[in-house]
């Protein structure tokens, strides 16, 4: 679910392999989170008492991850909260789009239960525009948060796309996840669409750049990459769901080469291990069939990106080939369904069809309307949606952004003593996360199993404690160089201060390579005048 960007940033990664932060969080969550107990005692203990709901009423449109996260924060801030959900169940894409083997349903139910137990009002099967009008919502609530997601699948405009047996990935996954039987036949072809997401993101970027009269950007930000990965993940999800539903022959076709494909290598490897065939550098040309699908005609790809690095596929003529198929699944992107917004309301929209918001406050152009998640930014991952929900809640309530790192100041507080919690922390290698054997990966069980307590403890003791940092009191330093000598990883350097541009010729500068430092504290132990001390990073939240 989570791409674990924390592990990419983990300092241990520069030593050997990063700490398995995601797996450790999972362990802690399984032990002490919602899934660890039946009642809600610990939940309430962590929050204290839920305050009375006497603030301005808030309406949340969409019971997905973003909406529920906002509901949770707003209720705890003292607002009466109502969640409107068009489907019969809460959870949005968590329940309807994401396969069960990625995210156990029991866990989602527990999490939702915990949020509801705070006293959140829920209206399921309530589609705005049909069951209730948008104006009614505006009358009923002081503020509204739109988190409707992207439930509408994009279409691929090739001949034959309306034949029987052509599905859109979102609809297909939605049906499978709701437990409906989908007749797939024996051979399934999934048309991958990672780059459609790229395309949408690039279009938006170019539009923004044109407005600012700046040159078109040639590279995309991490968000666009995440978007493309999400789309590719949907493709692979669809393929794997088909495979698990009993289809023998599942093929994914992708425009990109293995190097270009916007999906994690392990995702592809996992899919291939399950028997899914991935064909690279082929583009969909025509769906073949007479009333019902019999195959997909593809053409070879000449190039995917143009010289500026933009998504602009070109094909090699006369290379048509047909793959026999009973079902073709198109995973070429999703869009927000915002038809319920009244014309006269004056809510600005993005080029991709989402709601235009201020990225910092998530406010729309309407003063009482906030929006976030996929509905505002296009398809992204679950964590982004939850983060949007929390930011919107803070913005609506008028408190500082809980996600914004610039609002937090880090102070170093010298520690009186420094001792590692474990002697061998540097010798332990990353503990492998247990996963289910390939032969047992059938049905909808989870693939990753998670740590047991011993493994979790072992993995956790690898932490380098990079929140601790050495500090120098220059007035005490005698430049003996013993710290440089004892440092096992050569991360301390003494250079002439004038060369480093920080002082005069008669001074020396001590430099620390923080990425190399393993916080062993040997320099602190050895420093004769005690000029080096270990200091703990302390967060000070402003506002």
Partner 1 sequence: MGEITELDRDELLADALEPGNDPTVSGWRGRVARSEAWRSVFRHPHLDTPRGRALQSFSNVFLHVYPVKVPARVLRLRYSWRLGYIATVLFTILLATGVYLMFFYTPSTTAAYGDMQQLRTGVGFGQLVRNVHRWSAHLMVLVVLLHLARVFFAGAYKRPRQFNWVLGLALLATTLGFSFTGYLLPWDQLSYWAVTVGTNLVNYVPIAGTTIRDLLIGGDQINQTTLLRFYVLHVAVLPGALGLFLMVHIWRVRKDGFAVRRGGVGAFAEGLTDEAATAMILPPGDPADDDETAATPGRVRLLGVVDRESVTAEERLVDDTVFAWPHLLVRHAVVALGTCALVLALGVSFAAPLRDLANPELTPEPAKAPWYFVGLQELLSHFDPLVAGIFVPAAAFLGFLLLPYVDRNPATEAKHRKVAIVVFVGLIVIAVVLTVIGLLFRGPGWQWTPPWTHLYFEL
Distance CA 205, CA 201 (A): 6
CB 427 to partner 1: min, Å:
3
CB 162 to partner 1: min, Å:
46
- Return the number of the residue (63 or 521) whose C-beta is nearest partner 1: 521
Residue 240 dihedral angles phi and psi, to the nearest 5°: -70, -35
**Angle between helix 194-211 and 222-244 (nearest 10):** 160
CB 423 to partner 1: min, Å:
5
- Return the number of the residue (264 or 480) whose C-beta is nearest partner 1: 480
Q: Are 93 and 64 in contact (CB under 8 A)?
A: yes
CB 19 to partner 1: min, Å:
14
Closest listed residue to residue 229, CA positions, set 204, 192, 203: 192
Buried b (16+ CB within 10 A) or exposed e, 361-394: ebbbebeebbbbbbbbbbbbbbebbbbbbbbbbb
DSSP states of 338-398 as a string?
-TTS-GGG---B-TTSSB---TTT-B-SSTTEEE-THHHH-S--HHHHHHHHHHHHHHHHT
- Residue 170: count other Cβ atoms within 10 Å of its Cβ: 25
CB 414 to partner 1: min, Å:
13
- Return the number of the residue (279 or 500) whose C-beta is nearest partner 1: 500
DSSP states of 59-83 as a string?
EEE--SHHHHHHHHHHHHTT--EEE
- Return the number of the residue (308 or 507) whose C-beta is nearest partner 1: 507
Beta bridge partners of 533: 471
CB 141 to partner 1: min, Å:
44
Q: Are 88 and 179 in contact (CB under 8 A)?
A: no
Distance CA 192, CA 196 (A): 9
- Return the number of the residue (442 or 511) whose C-beta is nearest partner 1: 511
- Return the number of the residue (11 or 75) whose C-beta is nearest partner 1: 11
- Interacting residues toward partner 1 by CB under 8 A: 14-16, 419-424, 426-429, 454, 457-458, 460-461, 469-474, 477-481, 484-490, 492-497, 499-503, 505-516, 518, 520, 522, 525-526, 532
CB 212 to partner 1: min, Å:
23
- Return the number of the residue (264 or 428) whose C-beta is nearest partner 1: 428
Q: Which helix (H) or strand (E) holds 540?
A: strand 532-541
- Return the number of the residue (124 or 493) whose C-beta is nearest partner 1: 493
- Return the number of the residue (14 or 312) whose C-beta is nearest partner 1: 14
CB 30 to partner 1: min, Å:
19
- Residue 184: count other Cβ atoms within 10 Å of its Cβ: 22
Q: Are 21 and 462 in contact (CB under 8 A)?
A: no
CB 265 to partner 1: min, Å:
20
């Amino acid at each position: 679910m989570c791409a674990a960007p924390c592990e990419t940033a983990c300092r241990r990664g520069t030593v050997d392999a990063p700490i398995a932060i995601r797996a450790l969080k999972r362990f802690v969550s399984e032990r002490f989170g919602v899934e660890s107990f039946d009642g809600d005692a610990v939940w309430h203990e962590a929050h204290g008492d839920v305050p009375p709901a006497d603030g301005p009423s808030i309406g949340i449109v969409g019971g997905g991850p973003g909406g529920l996260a906002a509901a949770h924060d707003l209720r705890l801030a003292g607002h009466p909260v109502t969640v409107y959900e068009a489907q019969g169940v809460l959870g949005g894409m968590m329940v309807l789009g994401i396969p069960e083997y990625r995210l156990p349903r029991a866990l989602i139910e527990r999490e939702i239960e915990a949020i509801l137990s705070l006293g959140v009002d829920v209206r399921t099967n309530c589609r705005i525009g049909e069951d209730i009008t948008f104006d009614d919502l505006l009358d009923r609530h002081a503020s509204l948060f739109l988190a409707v997601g992207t439930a509408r699948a994009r279409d691929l405009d090739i001949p034959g796309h309306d034949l029987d047996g052509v599905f859109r990935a979102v609809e297909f996954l939605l049906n499978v996840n709701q437990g409906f039987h989908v007749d797939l036949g024996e051979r399934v072809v999934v048309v991958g669409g990672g780059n459609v997401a790229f395309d949408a993101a690039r279009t938006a970027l170019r539009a923004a750049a044109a407005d600012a009269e700046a040159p078109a950007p040639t590279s995309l930000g991490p968000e666009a990459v995440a978007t493309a990965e999400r789309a590719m993940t949907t493709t692979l999800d669809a393929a794997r769901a088909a495979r698990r539903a009993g289809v023998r022959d599942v093929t994914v076709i992708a425009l990109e080469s293995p190097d270009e494909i916007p999906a994690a290598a392990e995702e592809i490897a996992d899919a291939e291990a399950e028997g899914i065939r991935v064909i690279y550098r082929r583009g969909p040309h025509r769906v073949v069939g007479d009333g019902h699908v019999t195959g997909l005609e593809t053409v070879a790809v000449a190039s995917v990106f143009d010289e500026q690095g933009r998504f602009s596929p070109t094909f090699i003529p006369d290379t048509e080939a047909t793959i026999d198929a009973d079902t073709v699944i198109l995973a070429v992107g999703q869009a927000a369904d915002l038809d319920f917004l009244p014309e006269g309301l004056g809510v600005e929209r993005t080029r991709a069809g989402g709601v235009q918001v201020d990225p910092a406050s998530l406010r729309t152009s309407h003063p009482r309307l906030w929006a976030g998640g996929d509905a505002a930014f296009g398809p992204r991952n679950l964590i982004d949606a939850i983060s949007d929900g929390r930011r919107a809640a803070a913005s609506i309530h008028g408190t500082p952004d809980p996600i914004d790192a610039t609002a937090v100041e880090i102070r170093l507080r010298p520690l009186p003593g420094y001792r590692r919690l474990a002697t061998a922390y540097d010798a332990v290698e990353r503990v492998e996360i247990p996963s289910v054997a390939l032969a047992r990966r059938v049905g909808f069980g989870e693939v990753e199993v998670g740590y047991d307590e011993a493994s979790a403890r072992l993995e956790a003791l690898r932490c380098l404690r990079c929140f601790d940092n050495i500090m120098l009191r220059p007035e005490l330093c005698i430049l003996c160089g013993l710290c440089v000598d004892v440092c096992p990883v050569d991360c301390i350097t003494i250079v002439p201060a004038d060369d480093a541009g920080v002082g005069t010729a008669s001074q020396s500068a001590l430099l620390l390579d923080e990425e190399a430092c393993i916080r062993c504290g040997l320099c602190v132990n050895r420093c004769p005048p005690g000029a080096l001390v270990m200091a703990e990073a302390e967060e000070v939240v402003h506002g």
